[in-house]
């Protein structure tokens, strides 16, 4: 039986679950789960041929709301999650390797969460690094000064994702 809900937290949880599923063997995962915008995740992993793939998943919240708006409910079993996967180019792979090598040289912080600020809504961020030399999970809403250490990897993921194409489809 299909599940419907008008509870925003249940809907956001389901979208997050869908965006983060099938992430086994993932080296790097970055996700943004905002309260009032479109949720997405970007991951990098090796495929069957050992090439590095970048996969972008994006919840088309606007389409789901438009379909079910008259009911005031969203179908939790049929959220529209768009997905694009492609192989990293040699240049992208080398750039990623350089960024990871830089991260290997610094002492990574245990947290980048700014705990001195209270956030009532906003955006939940997550970065998972699971490489040969780095195993870290970061979750934050407001970043502290340690964000500069991971900024390059996040910028790389967002700039090399297909987010622009998804947003143009709206």
pLDDT of residue 25: 80
Continuous segment of H or E residues that includes residue 135:
strand 135-140
| 16-25 own/partner pairs: CB under 8 Å, 24+ apart | 16/124, 18/57, 18/59, 18/79, 18/81, 19/57, 19/59, 19/81
Residue showing tokens 């086994």: 24
* pLDDT value of residue 168: 57
CATH of domain 4-168: 3.30.1560
pLDDT in tens, the chain (170 residues): 788 777 777 888 888 888 888 777 899 999 998 876 778 999 999 888 888 999 999 988 777 667 666 666 777 777 888 899 999 999 999 999 999 999 999 999 999 998 888 877 778 899 999 998 999 999 999 999 999 999 999 999 999 987 665 555 54
Q: Where are the domains of the chain?
A: 4-168
* pLDDT of res. 70: 62
């Amino acid at each position: 039986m299909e599940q419907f809900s008008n509870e925003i937290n249940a809907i956001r949880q389901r979208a997050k679950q869908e965006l983060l599923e099938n992430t086994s063997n993932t080296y790097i995962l970055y996700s943004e789960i905002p309260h009032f915008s479109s949720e997405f995740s970007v991951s990098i992993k090796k495929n069957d041929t050992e090439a590095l793939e970048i996969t972008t998943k994006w919840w088309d919240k606007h389409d789901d709301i438009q379909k079910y708006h008259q009911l005031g409910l969203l179908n939790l079993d049929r959220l529209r999650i768009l997905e694009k996967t492609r192989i990293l180019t040699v240049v992208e792979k080398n750039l990623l390797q350089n960024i990871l090598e830089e991260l290997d040289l610094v002492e990574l912080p245990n947290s980048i969460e700014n705990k001195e600020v209270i956030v009532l809504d906003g955006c939940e961020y997550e970065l998972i690094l699971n490489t040969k030399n780095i195993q870290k999970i970061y979750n934050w809403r407001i970043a502290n000064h340690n964000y500069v250490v991971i900024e390059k990897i996040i910028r790389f993921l967002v700039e090399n994702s297909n987010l622009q194409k998804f947003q143009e489809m709206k």
